[in-house]
Chain A
Amino acid sequence: MSAIVKTLNHCSPDPVKVDGSHSLTIALAGNPNAGKTSLFNSLTGLRQKVANYPGVTVESKSGLWSLARHLPPARVVDLPGLYSLDATSLDEEIARDILLRRATNIAIPDVIVVVVDATNLVRNLYLATQLIDTRQRVVIALTMFDRAERSQLKIDTKQLSDALGVPVVPVVARRRRGLEELSRAVLDVIEGPPLEDVRGNGFPLLVENALADPAGRHSKLIKRYALIERIVSDAVEISDQGRLSFSERIDRVVTHKIFGPLILMLVMLLVFQTIFSWASLPMNLIDQVFSALSDSVRTTLPAGVFTDLLADGIIAGVGGVLAFLPQILLLFFFISILEDSGYMARAAFLTDRLMRAVGLHGKAFVPLLSSFACAVPGIMATRTIENPKDRIATIMIAPFMSCSARLPVYTLMIAAFFSGQKVLGVISVGALIILGMYLLGIAVAIVVAWIMKRTILKAPAPPFVMELPPYRVPQLGNVAHTLFARSTVFLKRAGTVILAISILLWALVAFPRAGSSTFLQKERAAQVQNSFAGRAGRLIEPAIKPLGFDWKIGIGLISSFAARETIVSTLSIVYNAGDNPETKSSSLVDALRSAKRSDGSLVWTPLTGLSLMIFFLLACQCMSTVAIVRRETNSWRWPTFMVGYMLVLAYAASFVTYQGGQLLGFR
């Protein structure tokens, strides 16, 4: 703690030369929901960059801001939101270290622009006055100024500025009001005399967080609030107090005992349905474009390993990566709207009690529900959970939500072994089985979360103290920025891993070579059966036999690590069931039904089908999930653990299903 004091003594800023030789760095700090991101987007436009802070998974956003015509644009860093310089989460720690000039390998800010919500002055000024006390160059941007005016708050910015000793500039980011004044204030602060001379208005220096003793900390904190209250009551005139706010009126319905959960269900249904059905259109398009591309490569280039690598490895791999984009874009379209509007906090408020039953936070609800469409965007959405252990627990159970990639496997198995069967004459067995798969996934997730929160992720229950921000109309610009940032993050970080694994998996199927070309139907089957993957399938046959699987299914299991739905095409190849997409499924169904072991018994029974479905529900056969977990946890430890424990669970569940089923006399 004494490090802070030491740093503070050294952080009186050196004079900055504003002649274009030195490019300026400006840090944007402020409370969460104070309008920091809106201001950042208005200042920088499209000139921004999203990256991670070195060594951690906290996102760093920076952009360029043209302060004045004669100067090169300044670099603006949008810091994670924080309430004070006493950090409690990793995000806040990073913001604090940069603000206190303790961060290495990140440029020291020349000026700090503190974003202060005009409608919530007292609380926002807590951080602002802490920063003023560090004697760095500070400018206050008073956001939501139009809202303050509308709710009859009269703020005397001149008086506020005099009392605090720093410039206070009212801004309305979405109307670009006050941005020029803000540039001028920043330039004035840089060019002006050293801070100590401008101040001297009696605002006392309180550096409370250097104290280890909590009682002392509390009393300093209370003192600071008392000072802020005095400053605010001098500078602000409130003419209309006690009126129910607009947001509270909306909350009367949105978090109502009955309507609240109902609205939440409708919202989630809409999100879910959209990702589920609308995303399939562009996904099919991407699929068609890439298979056409790979076909044209085959017809134009001479047959050989290189052509195969290009067509089946690289083009198919890139297509596989891009196929996730529609889902990610759609989910984050909704998430950023829900977040910008303020609804996300209400969803967490409504579901917290439910999620707490398994030791999780209300904020885990939306990511988990999204994972029913696809775990990849669901896992990316866990960033809103501040507590790292809660976040990991949520990530670890997200793949149990039965995602859309399992459906081709379910439908194939049901078409082959349960089609046309009915219970009580009306309910189809297939529908019941699919429903059962979804429920089983949820049940397993609950049990696993419960166990993890009591063992490897054990931690005292994190406090649930969450601001319910006022409702706002989401801004299209902010939504677009989020979408752009999410997709680049996915393509750059996860895309490379996915591409590498798909080329590796291609090689497993393509080598050693059986013939010169794998273009012909019959040769393809022979190639796959003799490849490394085929050999591996035979190798693992003894292990998967108790689950009811033979070596051909083993090949399917290995190749489907790339993506679950791959097993359908792999099975078509190994069962030599034709490559025509029109006839593929029906001929594959026939091939599965008639496949025989060497002793003449059937390979596939309904019980085998059920066992395979359960295996696909519980095993982590999705390299995109692995790649995104690697990225989001910043280590290979968690993705390795995830693949491992899910494999054990899947094996055990399939074993119990198949062996238990046989004991009970099912086939």
Chain B
Amino acid sequence: MTLDMIPQNVMARVTSVAPADGHSLRLMEMGVVPGAPVRVVKAAPLGDPIHVCVRNYHLALRRAEAKSITVTLHDSGAID
């Protein structure tokens, strides 16, 4: 499953980031590395970009970029 597909406010973990292109390196430098906890907070009013929470900070990225991030859902489920 990729980051653009998961439901809102469900805890997930990054399993991989597609390598080799420019933005994947930028994402990884910003802490989006395998094992990092992520959560999709919401989508912008027009559906794109999306707002995610990674390692307790907030990030906006387009769905095209989110597609390169593979995640697995966490067991603990939704928060709040």
Q: Could you say which residues of chain A place their CB within 8 Å of the CB of B58?
A: 247-248, 251, 467-470
Task: Tell me if A465 is interfacial: C-beta within 8 Å of chain B.
Answer: yes
CB pair A465–B59 under 8 Å, yes or no, is yes
A242, A352, A465: the one contacting B44 at CB < 8 Å is A352
Chain A 132-150 per-residue mask, 1 if CB under 8 angstroms from chain B, else 0: 0000000000000000000
User: Given that A120-B56, A467-B57 are contacting pairs, would A83 and B41 also be in contact in the complex, using a CB cutoff of 8 Å?
Assistant: no
Q: Once bound together, how far apart are the Cα atoms of A345 and B51, in whole Å?
A: 11
User: Given that A464-B61, A464-B62, A467-B59 are contacting pairs, would A221 and B45 also be in contact in the complex, using a CB cutoff of 8 Å?
Assistant: no
User: Given that A83-B26, A83-B29, A221-B33 are contacting pairs, would A120 and B49 also be in contact in the complex, using a CB cutoff of 8 Å?
Assistant: no
Considering only residues 74-122 of chain A, those with a C-beta below 8 Å from chain B are: 83-84, 86, 88, 119-120, 122
Task: Tell me if B5 is interfacial: C-beta within 8 Å of chain A.
Answer: no
Q: Could you say which residues of chain A place their CB within 8 Å of the CB of B20?
A: 214-215
CB pair B44–A126 under 8 Å, yes or no, is no
Q: Could you say which residues of chain B place their CB within 8 Å of the CB of A349?
A: 44, 49, 51, 60
Task: Tell me if A255 is interfacial: C-beta within 8 Å of chain B.
Answer: yes
CB pair B29–A463 under 8 Å, yes or no, is no
Task: Tell me if A177 is interfacial: C-beta within 8 Å of chain B.
Answer: no
Considering only residues 41-76 of chain B, those with a C-beta below 8 Å from chain A are: 41-42, 44-49, 51, 53, 55-62, 64-65
B46, B60, B62: the one contacting A354 at CB < 8 Å is B46
User: Given that A248-B58, A463-B61 are contacting pairs, would A261 and B45 also be in contact in the complex, using a CB cutoff of 8 Å?
Assistant: yes
Q: Could you say which residues of chain B place their CB within 8 Å of the CB of A215?
A: 19-20
CB pair B26–A123 under 8 Å, yes or no, is no
User: Given that A120-B55, A214-B25, A248-B58 are contacting pairs, would A465 and B30 also be in contact in the complex, using a CB cutoff of 8 Å?
Assistant: yes
CB pair B48–A242 under 8 Å, yes or no, is no
Q: Could you say which residues of chain A place their CB within 8 Å of the CB of B28?
A: 218, 221-222
Considering only residues 355-397 of chain A, those with a C-beta below 8 Å from chain B are: 356, 362
Q: Once bound together, how far apart are the Cα atoms of A244 and B41, in whole Å?
A: 11
Chain A 314-356 per-residue mask, 1 if CB under 8 angstroms from chain B, else 0: 0000000000000000000000000000000100111011101
A221, A247, A463: the one contacting B22 at CB < 8 Å is A463
Q: Once bound together, how far apart are the Cα atoms of A88 and B26, in whole Å?
A: 8
User: Given that A217-B25, A218-B19 are contacting pairs, would A352 and B48 also be in contact in the complex, using a CB cutoff of 8 Å?
Assistant: yes
Q: Once bound together, how far apart are the Cα atoms of A255 and B64, in whole Å?
A: 20
Task: Tell me if B34 is interfacial: C-beta within 8 Å of chain A.
Answer: yes
Task: Tell me if A260 is interfacial: C-beta within 8 Å of chain B.
Answer: yes
Task: Tell me if B31 is interfacial: C-beta within 8 Å of chain A.
Answer: yes
Of chain B, the residue at the smallest CB distance from A127 is B29
CB pair A86–B45 under 8 Å, yes or no, is no
CB pair A257–B45 under 8 Å, yes or no, is yes
B35, B44, B65, B79: the one contacting A463 at CB < 8 Å is B65
CB pair B47–A353 under 8 Å, yes or no, is yes
User: Given that A123-B55, A248-B41, A467-B58 are contacting pairs, would A353 and B19 also be in contact in the complex, using a CB cutoff of 8 Å?
Assistant: no
Q: Once bound together, how far apart are the Cα atoms of A482 and B19, in whole Å?
A: 39
A84, A242, A258, A467: the one contacting B79 at CB < 8 Å is A242
Q: Could you say which residues of chain A place their CB within 8 Å of the CB of B19?
A: 214-215, 218
Chain A 490-522 per-residue mask, 1 if CB under 8 angstroms from chain B, else 0: 000000000000000000000000000000000
Considering only residues 251-297 of chain A, those with a C-beta below 8 Å from chain B are: 251, 255-258, 260-261
A88, A362, A465, A467: the one contacting B65 at CB < 8 Å is A465
Q: Once bound together, how far apart are the Cα atoms of A83 and B23, in whole Å?
A: 13
CB pair A353–B51 under 8 Å, yes or no, is no
A78 to chain B, nearest CB (A): 21
CB pair A126–B31 under 8 Å, yes or no, is yes
Considering only residues 463-490 of chain A, those with a C-beta below 8 Å from chain B are: 463-470
CB pair A464–B51 under 8 Å, yes or no, is no
Of chain B, the residue at the smallest CB distance from A247 is B58
Q: Could you say which residues of chain B place their CB within 8 Å of the CB of A122?
A: 31, 55
B27, B45, B47, B80: the one contacting A465 at CB < 8 Å is B27
Q: Which of B22, B44, B46 has the most CB of A within 10 A?
A: B44
User: Given that A345-B60, A463-B65 are contacting pairs, would A353 and B44 also be in contact in the complex, using a CB cutoff of 8 Å?
Assistant: yes
Q: Could you say which residues of chain B place their CB within 8 Å of the CB of A356?
A: 62
Q: Once bound together, how far apart are the Cα atoms of A218 and B25, in whole Å?
A: 7
Of chain B, the residue at the smallest CB distance from A217 is B25
A147 to chain B, nearest CB (A): 12
Of chain B, the residue at the smallest CB distance from A353 is B46
Q: Once bound together, how far apart are the Cα atoms of A527 and B80, in whole Å?
A: 77
Q: Once bound together, how far apart are the Cα atoms of A352 and B48, in whole Å?
A: 8
Task: Tell me if A225 is interfacial: C-beta within 8 Å of chain B.
Answer: yes
CB pair B29–A126 under 8 Å, yes or no, is yes
Q: Could you say which residues of chain B place their CB within 8 Å of the CB of A244?
A: 79-80
Q: Once bound together, how far apart are the Cα atoms of A282 and B46, in whole Å?
A: 40
Q: Could you say which residues of chain B place their CB within 8 Å of the CB of A467?
A: 30, 57-60
CB pair B51–A84 under 8 Å, yes or no, is no
Of chain B, the residue at the smallest CB distance from A153 is B56
Residues of chain B at the chain A interface (Cβ within 8 Å)? 17, 19-20, 22-23, 25-31, 33-36, 41-42, 44-49, 51, 53, 55-62, 64-65, 79-80
Q: List 23 A-B contacts (CB under 8 A).
A: A83-B29, A86-B29, A119-B56, A122-B31, A123-B55, A217-B25, A218-B19, A221-B25, A221-B29, A222-B28, A225-B31, A245-B56, A251-B42, A255-B45, A256-B45, A352-B62, A353-B48, A354-B46, A465-B60, A467-B60, A468-B51, A468-B58, A468-B60
Q: A123-B30, A255-B45, A467-B58 are in contact. List 14 more A-B contacts (CB 8 A).
A: A83-B26, A83-B29, A119-B57, A120-B57, A226-B35, A248-B41, A248-B53, A251-B42, A251-B58, A255-B51, A354-B46, A465-B65, A468-B59, A470-B57
Which 6 residue pairs are nearest across A and B when measured between Cβ atoms?
A: A463-B23, A353-B46, A468-B58, A123-B31, A84-B29, A464-B62
